[in-house]
Structure formats: structure tokens, C-alpha cells
Copies of this chain bind each other. A is one copy, B any other.
Amino acid sequence: MFEVFKAYVRRQTTISDEELAILESHAKFKKLRKKQYLLQEGDVCRYHCFIASGLMRTYSVDGKGNEHIIRFATKDWWISDRESLLFGVLSKFNIDAIEESELILFDKDEMKEAMETVPVFGQLVTDILNKSFVINQNRIHEVISSTAEEKYQNFVKRYPDFALRVPQAMIASYLGITPETLSRLRNPKPKK
């Protein structure tokens, strides 16, 4: 399973086998079945998690019991609740597996050590953070400036894979609309 991670790191940077071995020594492994939690609301997030396979989601549940999906993540992506992880606060999010998933976990402190011991890895992680920031910024832009239909079109274009693997109701939740509205967008009434 660590092979997926090695391949991922090698694709982004130049790194020796020794350095990869150091990273491996800091890693834990975890398998999750469908619907199994990685993190629950009220927990404190302890790990940076790399997804070796599968499909995960981060979401909150509001007062009315409605779920709001913040993001999806799949192979070669990282997932965690950064707010809880960095600042040690209780998480307001849940993270669970949409499909059976394999994860590589780096404990907060181990991660710090790994980033310092293997600087290219540290740089890689900082680059990811920068990219994530930009992605989030663009999502904010989209969500305040687009119609529901545009948001859906953009989603399908940007994440064609998710559009196939994720149930529609979850996509609706990600877009901030109801499942019924999404269904109607996809099946417009014949004009006449």
C-alpha cells in the first residue's frame, strides 16, 4: 500500500529510497469500509491522511440533520480537518468513506518531524497547501458567482470521476442545493 505513496511522492519531486524509507517509518496504515468514519464531529483530528485508494468525504451535519459536504477526496489526495489538527480544537466535521478506502496516516508530530528530516517532502507538503488554498479560493469564487446549473456543470467538468462515483444526493450537498433541484437540472422539462 505504501507503494502508492512512494509513486505519488516520486512524481512530484526527486527523492531517494532512503528518504522514502524515513517517511515510511513515520507512517501508519488504515483500511476503512464503506461508511466507516475516519473522524467524527467532536473528535480532535490527529493525523494527516493520504488516500492510497478509495473515496472519502468531509461533511458537517446541521441542526435539521442535513449533511453539507465540504469536499471529496480520492487516490493521491490528502484529507484531514486542518483546523482541528493544527489548533487542537474539536472538529465540527465528519470524515467517512464513500467507498472502501486505504489510508496512510501521519501523526501530527511525526509529520512535522518527517517534513524537517526530509526537506523535499516538507516542500511538497507546503506546495500542496498552497494549491489547496487556491482551489478553495476558486471554489468560493464559483459558489458566490455562479447559478446552480453552472456549479453543476463545472463540477462535472472538473471532477468527471466523482460525477460517476458519487451518489447524486451527495453532489447536491457539495454544491449547496437539494437533491431534487439537482435532479431537475439534469432532467430539464421538455420545452413544449
Q: Which stretch in A35-43, A101-109, A132-140 binds the other chain? A: A132-140
Report yes or no: A143 in contact with B143, Cβ–Cβ below 8 A. Answer: yes
- Produce 1/0 per residue, A88-118, CB < 8 A to B: 0000100000000000000000000000000
**Does A179 reach chain B (CB closer than 8 Å)?**
no
Given contacts A68-B144, A82-B130, A136-B140, 9 further A-B contacts (CB under 8 A): A60-B145, A66-B145, A82-B134, A82-B137, A126-B126, A129-B130, A140-B143, A143-B144, A143-B176
Nearest 9 Cβ contacts at the A-B interface: A144-B176, A136-B136, A68-B145, A83-B134, A133-B133, A143-B143, A68-B144, A82-B134, A70-B141
Main secondary structure of the interface of A (DSSP, over half): helix
Chain B residues near A133 (CB, 8 Å)? 82, 129, 132-133, 136
Report yes or no: A144 in contact with B174, Cβ–Cβ below 8 A. Answer: yes
Distance A141 CA – B61 CA, assembled complex (angstroms): 11
Q: How many chain copies?
A: 2
Cβ of A27 to closest chain B Cβ, rounded Å: 22
**Does A55 reach chain B (CB closer than 8 Å)?**
no
Contact status of A134 and B60, CB under 8 A, knowing A141-B68, A143-B143, A176-B143: no
Contact status of A145 and B83, CB under 8 A, knowing A137-B136, A140-B70: no
Distance A64 CA – B139 CA, assembled complex (angstroms): 20
Contact status of A138 and B60, CB under 8 A, knowing A68-B144, A126-B126: no
Chain B residues near A82 (CB, 8 Å)? 130, 133-134, 137
**Does A18 reach chain B (CB closer than 8 Å)?**
no
Distance A141 CA – B60 CA, assembled complex (angstroms): 8
